[in-house]
Amino acid sequence: MSKASNNGWDFFLAKAKGGVGLVVVHEIFGYSPYVEGVATELAEAGFSAASIDLFRGTKADTLEAGMKLRGSVTGDVLREGISAGAELLRSQAGARIVGAMGFCMGGGFALQAACDLGLDFCVDFYGQISDAEDTSKLQGPVLLILGSEDARVTPWAFQQFLPAAMKHNKRVETQLYPHAKHAFHRPGWEGHNPAAAKDAWDKTLRFLSQFG
């Protein structure tokens, strides 16, 4: 595990011997040890990971501040950053199959990048995109992780995203966890659900295992 840079973007790179790589995207409050921990766990499971700081070192103390930072990540910025991570995984970790993974805002960014860049797969922990019709551009499968008590993302997933995926004949595996709130995977948060988080992580590793 080490710090790495590519095309002006900074990453925490965790290499594994397998040929599968993931660009890992942080939540709305900014880059944190949490996403580095996710990258480390992925590498320990045999999947290389590069966690990216899309806010370029800036952190948000409040949700309002996070929303402002989120607005600075335009489509071009997102595509540039995720592309840089994908290139890093291919060149320095030997990844042949590359996807994106994220949490909350990062899950939506990962899904948007998978649509826009034709990534091999996406793992979206309770994140959404603005236009579900972008699903038509997906080139690989999506694992969508949801909590039943997430009043914003889960209704969007069932009312907009999944119908669009069905319309465009895209493959989506959905895991819906009862009594789980938004961001239930994150340790230390009041809504953390250890049982759901563990099962979701096991499902994630199973999903990734299909690629090699």
Q: What is the pLDDT of residues 108-121, one digit of tens each?
A: 999 999 999 999 99
What's residue 19's pLDDT?
Answer: 97
Find, among 143, 94, 92, 93, the residue nearest to 114 by Cα: 143
Q: What is the pLDDT of residues 138-164, one digit of tens each?
A: 999 999 999 999 999 999 999 999 999
Q: Is the pLDDT of residue 20 over 90?
A: yes
Question: In this structure, which topology does domain 2-209 adopt according to CATH?
Answer: Rossmann fold (3.40.50)
Burial 34-57 (b: 16+ CB within 10 A, else e): bbbebbbebbebebbbbbbbbbbe
pLDDT, average across residues 125-150: 98
Instruction: Say which range, 1-15, 120-134, 195-209, has the weakest mean pLDDT.
Output: 1-15
- How many Å apart are CA 114 and CA 99, to the nearest integer? 7
What's residue 1's pLDDT?
Answer: 78
Instruction: Say which range, 14-23, 44-53, 56-65, 132-141, has the weakest mean pLDDT.
Output: 56-65
